[in-house]
Structure 1
Amino acid sequence: MAGNDQADDFDRARKIHRVLVMHYVEGLSQAEIAKRTGLSHPTVNRLVKEGHERGYVQIKVTSPLQPLFEIEQRLIAKSSLSEAIVTPSASDQEDVNLANAGRAAADFLLSKLKDGDTICVSGGQGVGAVIAALAPSRAYDVTVVPATGGVQGKYFTDVNHLAAQLARKLQGRAFQIHAPVFAASRAERDVLLQVQSVREVLARARDAAIALVGIGSVLPEESTYRSLMPQGVKGKGELARIGAAGELVAHLINGDGKLCAYALNDCVIGLTLDEFKAVPLTIGISSGARKAAPIASVLKGGFLNVLATDEATGSLIIDILKG
């Protein structure tokens, strides 16, 4: 009896194998298999299902984009990200790679955007790259507001200009903030935050459904943050001493993603980091080797739901997070 059972199982396994090869390798439909083998269509269906249950079928997807998907999954696994968007590092020029990441982030933004949403934005080249790539197929009834104060002399990357550009692309409405990104002192900041127009803009930013921000480097001479620092504020040596690793909505954070003990952090006109983190969907965009450490610090702080970057930068971020 045992021998007969084994023979029956072998015959059934052979029949399952034959059907699976015809279906998945030869590309025949179940109806075609039934016709060719003389089995009924329900029997073929049961054999295919049983083949799956026995583990005979393993589906493997190969793609030239597989390395990018692997970096995305590793970034998600090592952070609080719900989504990572990694694009090819197609050039040695950072602005080219940033533009590619911006296009991918723009597509993602449109996939999440709904009429009635408020979007708060920071200044910077990363946000500019997203807006430049944005190509909506319809108008959106949305409001765009700054997440921080503005910067004199940097028109194309200033938060007010970018908010207006994003609203124009989406055919929505924009609010401007009439205050600098940094006050001269904490007392002056407190006064500016009570100005009605400033207070109303930041209240809208706190209620935003989506935040779109860049991530700044702080130590290199060409870093955006250093160019924003008011004259007379201590520079690179002081930033290194306090362990500054990156900038997010004009706040300095250290390598562990914690707010630095730095006087200028107390002078920011804008959302606090806690207020920023409370926005339901926070999207960060940044690219380049000098941005890897700042991005890693932002991820360690758990500030982002979504990150858009390029392949080379993503690999560097993973190395830092592993270390």
Structure 2
Amino acid sequence: MIDEFEKINETERLNFLAEISDMYYELNMTQSEIAAKLSTTRFKVSKLLQEARDKHVVEITISKPHSRVPKLENVLKENFDLKDALVLDNKVFAYEETLNTLGKLGAQYVDNLISENSIIGVLWGKTLLNLIKNLKPKKKLPITAVQIVGAAAKDVTIVDSQELMRNLANTYGGKCKYLYAPLYIDNDYARKALMREPVLSDTLFLANKSDIILTGIGTTDAMFSSSLWANYLERVKQYSLDDLKAVGCIYGRVYNELGEEIDIDINQKVIGIDTSSIRRVNHVIGIAAGKFKAKAILGALRGKYINTLITDDATASKILSLAKIQF
């Protein structure tokens, strides 16, 4: 085909360039090896690889290391008994760019943790979306992404757990295990019966064996950003979230500034594994940024809902200030 290359149509030409590029960039063949395979010269292969770049068949991205703030990382780890903390040195980024850059930082960290047959519990959130979309694994791995609590029914579906799980699994060439249930079921009898159903119980059994959990951290202001939460809005209004000192929501549970689940019935209505099981997972990684989230993150740290935090320096400083910790 190399001799007929100049005669083929544009679509066939691009496909051929993609095949050569795959040999060079994915299979790590040398230009001489490709030339021998195609019965042509190394010079011709070099020209075709350059054409592939010129025509955007191949796009090369250089990932520069992101600056971190070790001092803040160490203070967070020491004061909240964390397994790890990653604090982005963020002096110039606007909020949306901060989330994307934080996602890149988190993706590099998570990719180093993921190994063959890893079981990864996936929650939801915009920051978590940025982490997953920035994953660039060096090789495919037989991982399993598992849903550890029911669907949050986010109005923006790309940030919901099922969509994020699918993207994560596809990135590694792994598989998904969905929990086919809503986040909350009001009727106690129905909820307990449903969780005993084989389809759900098998997923929950696997979820309890997670090696890694990835989650965002929600504020009380964002609690009702989905139509599912809206169904519970009137019930929550009978309580004063301020009086209860509610500051955030994680795994579908609402908690106070001390990290305690508040005395509100929806905390008992969750379909999924319990927080004590979550705390036993080796790597429970929370990724969140923004000073407006500092109270929610602080509560999550105090409640041991996560054991690794990925955030930026402004948020980390606000967390430590709220906790009255010198740094």
Q: Distance in 2 between matches of 1:254 and 1:103?
A: 30
CA change 1:238–1:161 in 2 (3 A) is same
Task: Quote the offset at 1:138 in angstroms.
Answer: 0.6
Q: Distance in 1 between matches of 2:298 and 2:169?
A: 30
Alignment RMSD (CA, Å): 2.0
Q: Distance in 2 between matches of 1:289 and 1:257?
A: 18
CA change 1:178–1:154 in 2 (3 A) is farther
Q: Deviations over 1:21-46 (max 9, x none)?
A: xxxxxxxxxxxxxxxxxxxxxxxxxx
AA matched with 1:97 = T
**8 Å contact 1:75–1:81 — kept in the other structure?**
yes
CA change 1:297–1:138 in 2 (3 A) is same
**8 Å contact 2:246–2:257 — kept in the other structure?**
yes
AA matched with 2:177 = F
**8 Å contact 2:207–2:273 — kept in the other structure?**
yes
Q: Distance in 1 between matches of 2:92 and 2:199?
A: 43
Q: Distance in 2 between matches of 1:317 and 1:307?
A: 12
Map of 2:250 onto structure 1: 248
- Mapping of residues 283-302 of structure 1, within 5 Å: 283-302=285-304
- Mapping of residues 219-234 of structure 1, within 5 Å: 220=221, 223-225=222-224, 227=226, 228-231=228-231, 232-234=234-236
Map of 1:204 onto structure 2: 206
State the identity as a percent: 25
Q: Distance in 2 between matches of 1:321 and 1:140?
A: 40
Q: Distance in 1 between matches of 2:309 and 2:238?
A: 27
SS in 1 for 2:85: strand
TM-score calculated relative to the size of structure 2: 0.73
Task: Quote the offset at 1:113 in angstroms.
Answer: 1.1
Map of 2:108 onto structure 1: 107
Task: Quote the offset at 1:201 in angstroms.
Answer: 1.1
**8 Å contact 2:67–2:88 — kept in the other structure?**
no
CA change 1:141–1:281 in 2 (3 A) is same
Q: Distance in 2 between matches of 1:250 and 1:229?
A: 10
Q: Distance in 2 between matches of 1:91 and 1:194?
A: 50
Map of 2:45 onto structure 1: none
Asked if 1:263 corresponds to 2:265, the answer is yes
Task: Quote the offset at 1:91 in angstroms.
Answer: 4.9
Q: Distance in 2 between matches of 1:244 and 1:186?
A: 24
Map of 1:83 onto structure 2: 84
SS in 2 for 1:75: helix
**8 Å contact 1:215–1:246 — kept in the other structure?**
yes
SS in 2 for 1:240: coil
**Deviating more after overlay: 76-85 vs 228-237:** 228-237
**Deviating more after overlay: 184-193 vs 290-299:** 184-193
- How many pairs were matched up? 256
**Deviating more after overlay: 195-204 vs 275-284:** 195-204
Question: Which structure has the larger Rg over C-alpha atoms?
Answer: 1
List gaps (5 residues or longer) in structure 1. 1-63
AA matched with 1:87 = L
* Equivalent position to 1:274, from 273, 276, 284: 276
AA matched with 1:137 = K
Q: Distance in 1 between matches of 2:280 and 2:81?
A: 14
Task: Quote the offset at 1:176 in angstroms.
Answer: 1.5
**8 Å contact 1:88–1:97 — kept in the other structure?**
no
